[in-house]
Structure 1
Amino acid sequence: MKKIIFGIVVLIVGVLTFFSFKEKPSENLDKNLNYEILQKWDLPDVLDEVSGIAWLGKDRIACIQDEDGIIYIFNLQTSKIENEIEFGDGGDYEGIAVIEDDAYVLRSDGVIFEVIDFESTNPQVTKKVTKANALPGINFEGLCADPVNNRLLLAVKERKNSQHEKEIYAFDLNKKDSGEKPEFKVSLSDPLFDRVDGKLKNKFSPGELNIHPHSGELYILDGTRPKLLIVEKGGTLKELYIFSSKDFANPEGLTFNSEGDLFISNEAEEGPANILRVSLNRK
C-alpha cells in the first residue's frame, strides 16, 4: 500500500513539475501590457487554422487557412463568410496579400500563388517558385504587399543555420521572383530584445508582417511567443510590444484598414479563432 501511495505522489510531483517548466510566453515576459483590444470577431470553424488576413475595404477581410487552397472573404459587419475562392490544392499556406484586384498567397516553402482578378467569376492562378525556395531548411510564414515598391515582402520564420537573425525577402512583381539574398535582416542581438526575460530572451519567430499605410513602418508579428516588432523604413528596429497569450492565443495574421487600424487574427486554441482590432499605446 505504501508503495502505491509513494507512486501516486511521485506521479503528481512529476506532472506539476512538467507544467511548471512548460513554456508560457505571457508569464515569462514583461507584463506591462501597452495595447488595448477594441473589438473582437469570432470566426467560423472552417477558419480555425486561419494563417493570414488581408484588408479588402468595406469591412471585408480576405482570409486563408493552413490546409485548404481557398480564399475566404469574411464580412466584419455580418460576421459571416460571404465568398470562397479556390486557388489550389491542399497545402501549408501561411500568408495573403492583395494589390488592387489581384491576390497573392504564400506557401511555407516560398512558393507564391498569384490569383489574378481573384473576386471575378474566373480568376487566373499562376504558381511562382521563388529563388528563396531553394534555400536549405527554409520556412516562410509572413507575406505582405509593398505596392509603393511594386513588390511583396516575405518573412522567414526559421531557416537552417540562421538562429540569430530573421530574414525578410522581396518578391519583385515585375520580375515575378525573389532575390537570392534578403532585403534586410532582423538581428536578435538588438538591444530591443533585451526586455524579453528568461528562456525566451533573443527569440523571435516571424509569423506575419505588414506595412502601416500612413507611417510606412513594418509591423512583424511573432505568433509562437506573442509579440509585435515595429521596424522603421530604413530597417532600424523601433519598438517591441509584448502580448499576453490570454488575448493572443496563436496570432498568425495581421492587416491594416485604410485608416491605419490594426487587425490581428488568432488560430483557435481554447476558444474559436478570431480577428481582433487592436490599439497600441505608442510611445
Structure 2
Amino acid sequence: MTRIALGIVIAVLLVAAFIYFSFKSRPSTYIHPAAEEVEISQKWELPGELEEVSGIAWIGENQIAAVQDEEGIIFIYDLISSKIIREIPFGERGDYEGITLVDSTAYVLRSDGVLFEVKDFLEPNPQTKIHKTGLKRNLDAEGLCYDPRGNRLLIAIKDHTGKDFKPVYAFSLSGNNLEEEPALKINFDDPVFAILDQRRNHKVLRPSEINIHPVTGEYYILEGVIPKLLILDPQGNSKRLLVLDREQFPQAEGLTFSPNGDLYISNESNNQKPNILKVVLE
C-alpha cells in the first residue's frame, strides 16, 4: 500500500471514530438550548459545609433549612447574613437527599427511601424517629415535599425501570405508611416532552427534587443530571418543561418556595462553588 493510500485510510478511520464517539457521548435525552424564560435574580454562594447540598426547605424570616449528601445534619442558612447560623444533628452519616417541613417537624429523605422525622427540630433537644417506607434502594429516592391537601409526603425517585412513565410516591402522615398507588405518574408520551430526542426512556426525567407552589398548587419537579424543570398542574398533568442552562445550574438538587411563591434552587459544587439561586420564571 502506498503512503498516499495509507494516509487516506487513516484519515477515513479518524473521521469515522470522531463521528462515532461524538454521537455516543451525546446524552440519550439530548435537548434544545436552555429556555430564555428562566432568570436568576439573586445568588448566594454556600460555604464548604454545604458543598454537596442536596435539599432545601424554606423556614421563614429569610432562613432556609438544608441537608447535604453525607452528613446527618440540618443546616440553617440565613439569606441576609449569607451564613450558616446553626447546625442540627439528627442522624448518622448517610446519603441524604431531601428535606421538607411540616409545622415544627422536619422530614429528611435518605436515598434508600428511609424517612427521618425530626420533631421540634429548632428546639434545643429535637427527637428523631425513623420510618421505613418500603421503597427499593435501587429506585434512588431523591425528592421530598409536603402535600397539605392530602397530609402526606411526596417522594420523587430518580430511577425507574418503566420506560413509559416516572412515578411519584406518597407517604401518609396519618397512617405512617406508603400509599400503594403512585400519587403522580409522569407520562413520557406527553406533548410537553416533544423537545426531547428520545421520549420513551426512563432517563428522560431523573428527578432530584419535587415541591408544590404555595399559591398555584402546581407541582415543580427538578432534574440535576441534564438540568430541567417540569411543571405539572394541580391535577398532575404535565404543563411546562423548561430546559435549564448547565452553566447556571450545574447540579440542581434542591428546590423550595417562600410563602408568596418566590422560587429558590440549590446547586451542589460542580466546577464552581455550591449555591442557592433565586429564580424568576417568565
* Contact 2:54–2:68, Cα closer than 8 Å, also in 1: yes
Q: Which residue of 1 aligns with 2:165?
A: 165
- AA paired with 2:178? S
Distance in 2 (alpha carbons) for counterparts of 1:155 and 1:147: 16
| Residue 257 (structure 1) aligns with | 258
5+ residue gaps, structure 2, are none
CA shift in 2, pair 1:254/1:63, >3 Å:
same
1:113 — aligned with what?
A: 116
Q: Deviations over 1:110-139 (max 9, x none)?
A: 1100000001110000000013x2x47321
Unpaired runs of 5+ residues, structure 1, are none
Q: Do the aligned residues in 2 keep the contact of 1:28 with 1:200 (CA within 8 Å)?
A: no
Cα distance, 1:21 vs. partner? 5.2
Q: CA RMSD in A?
A: 2.6
Give the drift of 1:200: 10
Answer whether contact 2:145 2:153 (CA < 8 A) is retained.
yes
> Is this contact kept in 2: 1:95–1:106, CA < 8 A?
yes
Distance in 2, matches of 1:51 and 1:61, equals 13
Name the SS of the counterpart of 2:149 in structure 1.
helix
The 3 A distance-change label for structure 1 pair 28 and 211 is closer
Aligned to 1:141: 142
Which residue of structure 2 aligns with residue 217 of structure 1? 218
Three-state SS of the structure 1 residue aligned to 2:205 is coil
Q: Deviation of residue 189 (structure 1)? A: 1.6
| CA spacing shift, 1:232–1:78, aligned 2, 3 Å | same
Any idea what the Cα deviations from partners look like across 1:89-120, whole Å, max 9, x if unmatched? 11111100011111000011111000000011
Distance 2:124 2:257 in 1: 27
State how far apart, in whole Å, the 1-side matches of 2:163 and 2:93 are. 29
Aligned residue in 2 for 1:43 = 46
Amino acid at match of 2:206: S
Which range is displaced more, 21-30 or 45-54? 21-30
- 2:35/2:244 contact within 8 Å kept: no
Aligned length: 272
Report the CA distance shift for 1:200/1:280 in structure 2 as closer, same or farther (over 3 A). Answer: farther
Q: What's 1:56 paired with?
A: 59
Greater CA drift, 178-187 or 15-24: 15-24
| C-alpha distance in structure 2 between counterparts of 1:101 and 1:76, whole Å | 20
In structure 1, how many angstroms separate the alpha carbons of the residues matched to 2:189 and 2:198? 15
Given that 1:72 and 1:84 are in contact with CA atoms closer than 8 Å, whether structure 2 keeps it comes out as yes
1:208 equivalent to 2:197? Answer no
Give a deviation string over 1:50-77, Cα, whole Å, max 9, x none.
0000000111000000111000000000
Q: From the superposition, tell whether residues 24 and 38 of structure 1 become closer, same or farther in structure 2 (CA, over 3 Å).
A: farther
The answer to which of 165-174 and 24-33 deviates more is: 24-33
What do residues 204-249 of structure 1 show as CA deviations (whole Å, max 9, x unaligned)? Answer: 1111010000000000001111110111111111111110101100
In our comparison, the structure showing a higher alpha carbon Rg is: 2
Contact residue 224 and residue 251 of structure 2 kept, 8 A: yes
Which position in structure 1 is the counterpart of 2:185?
185
Query: Equivalences for 1:18-97 in 2 at 5 Å?
Result: 22-23=25-26, 28-97=31-100
Identity %: 45
| Counterparts in 2 of 1:238 and 1:53: CA distance versus 1, 3 Å | same
Q: What is the TM-score of this pair, normalised by structure 2?
A: 0.88
- Alignment TM-score, normalising by the size of structure 1: 0.88
Relative to structure 1, the CA distance from residue 102 to residue 259 in structure 2 (aligned partners, 3 Å threshold; closer, same or farther) is same
Instruction: Tell me by how many angstroms 1:34 deviates.
Output: 1.4
SS at match of 2:193: helix
